[in-house]
Amino acid sequence: MSSTVPRLQVVDALRGFAIVSIILLHNIEHYDLYYLPSNLPNWIRTFDSGIWKSLFFLFSGKSYAIFSLLFGLTFFIQSNNQEIKGKDFRARFVWRLFLLFIFGLINSAFYQGDILTDYAVIGLFLIPVARLNDKAVFWIALVLMFQPYEWINFILAVQNPDIKIVDPASWFYFDKMGEYITGNSLIETWIGNLTNGKTAVFYWTWENGRIFQTLSLFMLGMLAGRKSVFVASIESKRFWFRTIIISFMLFLLLFTVKEGLNSWISNKAIRSPIVTIETSWTNMAFMLVMVSGFVLLFQTDFFYKLLNSFSSIGRMSLSNYIMMSIIGSFIYYGFGLGLYQYAGATYSLFIGILLAMLEGFFSSCWINRFNHGPLETIWHKMTWIGST
C-alpha cells in the first residue's frame, strides 16, 4: 500500500448516531441526577415511564458499546496509517491516551459518568496485543467478553450459596451525589464529581463488567479494521447480513433468558454474577444488530442521506461529547437551571432532541469550514507534536 487509509464516512455517521443516542439517554437521566418530579400530572408520568423504558431498552449499554467498538477501529486506522509510512504508532498512542485522560478529567468535572478517562486507561491494554495475529486477538477478546471475573464469583457462590451479598460499593458514593450536584455551587460540583463521582463510576464500571467488555470491544474494533468490514464491498455487505441475522437471533435468546433469571435462580449470590454476564452479552448482541443494520441501510439510496446527517456530529465526537456534558449539567444541576426538579423523562427527551438538533447544526457549520472539531484540532496537534 502506498497511501493512508481513506476516511470512512459510514464510521463517522455511526459514531454520530452513538453520540446522539447518548445525549438522549443522558438527558432523561438528568446526567446521573436521578430524580422523579412530584408535581407532574398522571398522563405525563405514564409517558415518562414509557419513554424511560424504551430509551433504556434501545440505548443503555449499546451506545457506549458502539463507541467502544469504533475506538478500537480508530486505533487500527491510525496505527495502520503510520505503519504504511514505516512508523510505529504505539508510543504515540500512549501520549494520545494521556491527552484523552486530561480531556476526560475536564469532562468529569461537569459529568461524573464520563467514559473518556476509562478509555484512556483501558486503551493502554491495546498496545501489547496490537502486533498479535487475528486469531490470537479474537480469542483474547472472546475470553474478556465472557466476563472471567464474574464466572469466578459464580463458582464461589455455587460453592458457598449462603454467602452474604452486600450492596454494591458504588451505591454508597452515588448516594452522596445529592450533597453537591443539587447545590448551587459550581466549584463544589466540580470537586464532588472529581472525587466522590469518579470513585462511584470506577466501582460501577467494575461491578457491571464494563472493564472487560470495553477492552474486548476495543479488540473487536481493531479486528474489524483489519478485515475492512466497514469498507463498502460485496464481501463486507455479506458479512453484515450474516451479522444482523445471527446477532438478532442471539439477542432474542439472550433477552428471553435475561427476563427469566429472577424466577429461575432464587439465590441472589448465584444470580448476581449471571445477571452481569447475561446483560453484557445481551447488550453486545443488540449493539451488533444496530451496527449491522446501520451499515446496511447506509449503503442504500433511500436511507443514505438521512443517516449521513450524523457524519458531522461523529467527526466532532470529542467536542460534542464534552460540550453536551457542560450544557447538560448546567440545564439540570443545582448550580445552573436546576431543571431536574421539574423535567421528567418526557420533557427531558424533548430537551435532548433540541440539543441534538443544535449540535448537528453547529457541527455541520463547523465541519464545512474546518477539517476537525475544536477539541479534535487540539488533540490532533498535541498528538503529533514533535513529529517529523
Please give the pLDDT value at position 166: 83
The pLDDT of residue 79: 94
Backbone angles phi, psi at 334, to 5 degrees: -65, -30
What average pLDDT does the segment 292-318 reach?
96
Q: How confident is the model at residue 378 (pLDDT cuts 50, 70, 90)?
A: very high
pLDDT digits over 312-337, tens only? 999 999 999 999 999 999 999 999 99
Cell 470512512 -> residue: 8
pLDDT tens digits, 274-289: 999 999 999 999 999 9
- Does the pLDDT at position 161 exceed 90? no
Dihedral sign from CA coordinates of 233, 237, 242, 244: positive
Backbone angles phi, psi at 125, to 5 degrees: -75, -5
pLDDT value of residue 198:
95
- pLDDT surpassing 60 at residue 3: no
Helix 234-264 / helix 268-298 crossing angle, nearest 10 deg:
160
- Output the pLDDT for position 1: 34
Average pLDDT, the chain: 94
Q: What is the pLDDT of residue 6?
A: 56
Most confident of 14-23, 255-264, 267-276: 14-23
Res 370 pLDDT > 70 = yes
In this prediction, residue 164 carries a pLDDT of: 82
Predicted confidence (pLDDT) per residue in 172-206, tens digit:
999 998 899 999 999 999 999 999 999 999 999 99
Please say if the pLDDT value at position 295 is more than 90.
yes
User: Quick one: what percent of the chain has pLDDT higher than 90?
Assistant: 88
What is the pLDDT averaged over residues 106-123? 96
CA dist., res. 108 & res. 190, Å (int): 8
pLDDT, average across residues 212-235: 96
Phi and psi at residue 355, in whole multiples of 5°?
-65, -40
Ramachandran assignment for 278, one of left (phi > 0), alpha (psi -120 to 50 degrees), beta (any other): alpha
Specify whether the CB–CB gap between 236 and 228 falls below 8 A: yes
Check: pTM over 0.85? Answer yes or no: yes
Helical spans, DSSP H, in the chain: 9-28, 42-59, 63-84, 90-110, 116-122, 134-145, 148-159, 169-175, 178-181, 186-192, 198-207, 210-226, 234-264, 268-298, 301-308, 311-315, 317-332, 345-367, 374-383
In terms of Cβ atoms closer than 10 Å to its own Cβ (0-12, 13-18, 19+), residue 258 is middle
Check if the beta carbon of residue 325 is closer than 8 Å to that of residue 190.
no
- The share of the chain scoring above pLDDT 70, in percent, equals 98
**Which are the contacts of 332, defined by CB distance < 8 A and separation ≥ 6?**
30, 31, 33, 338, 339, 340, 343, 348
